[in-house]
Amino acid sequence: MGTDKDKKVKFLTSSGIEVKQVYSKKDLAGFTASRNLGEPGKYPFTRGLYSTMYRGKLWTMRQYAGFGTAEESNRRYRFLLSQGQTGISVAFDLPTQLGLDSDDPLSHGEVGKVGVAIDSLEDMEILFKRIPLDKISVSMTINSTAAIILAMYLALAEKKGIKWSSLSGTIQNDILKEYIARGTYIFPPQASLKIITDILAFCHKNVPNWNTMSISGYHIREAGATAVQELAFTFANAITYVKAAIDSGLDVDTFAPRLSFFLASHNNFFEEIAKFRAARRIWARLMREELHAKDPLSWKFRFHTQTSGVALLAQQPENNVVRVTLQALASVLGGTQSLHTNSWDEALALPSEEAAQIALRTQQIIAYEGGVTDTVDPVGGSFLIESLTNQIEEKVKDYLEKIEELGGMLVAIEKGFIQKEIQESAYRYQKQIENKEQIIVGLNKYQKREDRIQYNLYSPPKTIETNQVKKLRLLKKSRSAQKVKSRLDALRNAVESDENSLPHIIEAVKAKATLGEISALLKDIFGTFNETVTL
């Protein structure tokens, strides 16, 4: 750390923005945005999307959960709801994310491991047993198979007699970040964009209160991006989706109000707050000035936040409670609409029930005990916060211009530009840790001898895969094979004739076609994507 005697030491944020010792009004000079901060609830929404913010309504408190079988995950959801959680966030296992049934040989060893296994409408029924879908907001983190999972959810609601107009929630449906940061893609980018625009068009007409996309910077950040890169690459993806939808014939104001975003909150407290404030302003201006949206609802950057998974340590894991609290507070001061707080034991295992409860209590303590929700944008006007907000906005603009010069996000991905930027940032950060330029408590400083502490960690039963495969095979034997074939043939005809695929996917899952069967059909039509490795 620097002192008055050591003028050579620079204090930098994750994005390389220098943090000065003292800030004053002159640090805001030269930035047009600083001349008029605006009011909360008014364009460009720097100070918050709504005039009353948390005085009127708190953020939705979610805990991202899903593991093993649908039965186990359902128990966890109902437990968290009983403890005051106000929204459900579903994690799916890798086979489900990759369009594979649990009995596929490629699924072996991964069924139910990092999320819940969902093969059919039957599993979806079990997953949401005794949960009122018309009264609870449900977020589902799924991308390549988003259309199939959404179809199952809509079919379930229909079976329960719930109108689709009563459903509220989000499906991630953000495929571009999979190509650059996460890897659970199936189809080539253009085919994936076609499926996405099908979802946007279908939900606008039939599921009006559903967030049709959660455009994610979270996974980009967790892969090693800086705060500025997280916003820049997220917005570049979002611009691509919006333009693709407009090119397909949709009016921007018919779908843009239901777009939402998903950002990470890391440890650099003030940079994270400024990042969230800058994000609202950037999106508002992009939508109004560049993409020509006229509806003020299209200008609003509504976002969910999750505290950082990569910031959690296996060493002295109890300290993760403090990290999560810091990150959650930054999210709230930044004006998030929805928040997931990670559990302290996630660096060791899937969250235990006790750890998940502490994570939820963290949100509740911030909401009710700290006074931070009593006023709107309590950090607004801070010279430091406003300076960081301005600088982040400028750096994001520079990235967006660079991506546009390359030919847009799809070209930038194909050329490996985005991947390379993230990899280089991740490498720099790792070197900072190794050189102790970045102190991580318990990792490169203040270590202690690790005793064999017995934690109450969750361990998935070994029978998960066996039982899931058995259940799936029984389903396939008991259903009408002729009906399944008929619905899949109708889906094939629809896709090949460029019709909207959603109505036909819904009919297929109602006939008990599985996620793997529908994905296999789409793969046969669209092909699969193989990443080009660039050196």
What pLDDT is recorded for position 92? 97
Q: Is the pLDDT score of 533 beyond 60?
A: no
Q: Is the pLDDT score of 177 beyond 60?
A: yes
* Cα 114 to Cα 98: distance, rounded to the nearest angstrom: 13
Number of domains in the chain: 1
Average pLDDT over residues 498-502: 97
* Residue 510 domain-assigned (yes or no): no
Summarize pLDDT for 132-165 with one digit per residue, the tens: 999 999 999 999 999 999 999 999 999 999 999 9
* Residue 219 domain-assigned (yes or no): yes
Average pLDDT over residues 304-331: 97
Q: Is the pLDDT score of 10 beyond 90?
A: no
517 close to 483: Cβ distance less than 8 angstroms: no
* Residue 13 domain-assigned (yes or no): no
Give me Rg for the CA atoms of the chain.
23
Q: Residue 171 forms beta bridges with which residues?
A: 140
Summarize pLDDT for 353-368 with one digit per residue, the tens: 999 999 999 999 999 9
* Residue 169 domain-assigned (yes or no): yes
Summarize pLDDT for 447-487 with one digit per residue, the tens: 987 666 778 888 878 899 999 999 999 999 999 999 999 99
- List all residues 6 or more positions away from 504 whose beta carbon is below 8 Å from its beta carbon: 487, 490, 491, 494, 495
* Residue 4 domain-assigned (yes or no): no
Residue type, position 336, single letter: T
Q: Which residues of 42-58 are buried (b: 16+ CB within 10 A; e: fewer)?
A: ebbbbbbbbeebbeeeb
What average pLDDT does the structure give for the chain? 94
Range of the domain at 71: 25-44+63-434
96 close to 116: Cβ distance less than 8 angstroms: yes
Q: Which two tokens stand for residue 367?
A: 């909401």
Q: Return the CATH number at 408.
A: 3.20.20.240
Summarize pLDDT for 512-527 with one digit per residue, the tens: 999 999 999 999 999 9
* Residue 6 domain-assigned (yes or no): no
Average pLDDT over residues 55-82: 95
40 close to 50: Cβ distance less than 8 angstroms: yes
* DSSP H or E segment with residue 214: strand 213-216
* Residue 481 domain-assigned (yes or no): no
What pLDDT is recorded for position 3? 47
* DSSP H or E segment with residue 169: strand 169-171
480 C-beta neighbours (distance < 10 Å), count = 11
Cα distances (Å, whole numbers) of residue 506 to 149, 371, 457, 484, 501: 9, 46, 38, 12, 9
- List all residues 6 or more positions away from 142 whose beta carbon is below 8 Å from its beta carbon: 90, 92, 96, 97, 149, 171, 172, 173
DSSP string, 331-383: HHHTT-SEEE---TTTTTSSPPHHHHHHHHHHHHHHHHHSSTTSSSSTTTT-H
Summarize pLDDT for 399-421 with one digit per residue, the tens: 999 999 999 999 999 899 999 99
State the maximum Cα–Cα separation within the chain, in Å, rounded to a whole number: 81
What pLDDT is recorded for position 454? 76
Query: 12 in helix, strand or coil?
Result: strand
Angle 502-510/481-496 helices, nearest 10 degrees? 170
* Residue 174 domain-assigned (yes or no): yes
Q: Is the pLDDT score of 6 beyond 70?
A: no
Per residue, what are the HEC states of 22-88? CCCHHHHCCCHHHHCCCCCCCCCCCCCCCCCHHHCCCCEEEEEECCECHHHHHHHHHHHHHCCCCEE
Minimal CA–CA distance to 288: which of 28, 29, 44? Answer: 44
Cα distances (Å, whole numbers) of residue 79 to 182, 340, 357, 474: 30, 16, 9, 30
Q: Which two tokens stand for residue 481?
A: 């094979």
Q: Is the pLDDT score of 1 beyond 50?
A: no
β-strands 87-91, 210-211 pairing: unpaired
Q: Is the pLDDT score of 30 beyond 90?
A: no
Residue type, position 492, single letter: R
Summarize pLDDT for 86-113 with one digit per residue, the tens: 999 999 999 999 999 999 999 999 999 9
Assign 2 a pLDDT band (cuts: 50, 70, 90): very low
Rounded to the nearest angstrom, the gap between the alpha carbon of residue 363 and the centroid of all alpha carbons in its chain is: 18
Summarize pLDDT for 109-138 with one digit per residue, the tens: 999 999 999 999 999 999 999 999 999 999
CA dihedral 482, 486, 491, 493 (to 10 degrees): 140
60 C-beta neighbours (distance < 10 Å), count = 21
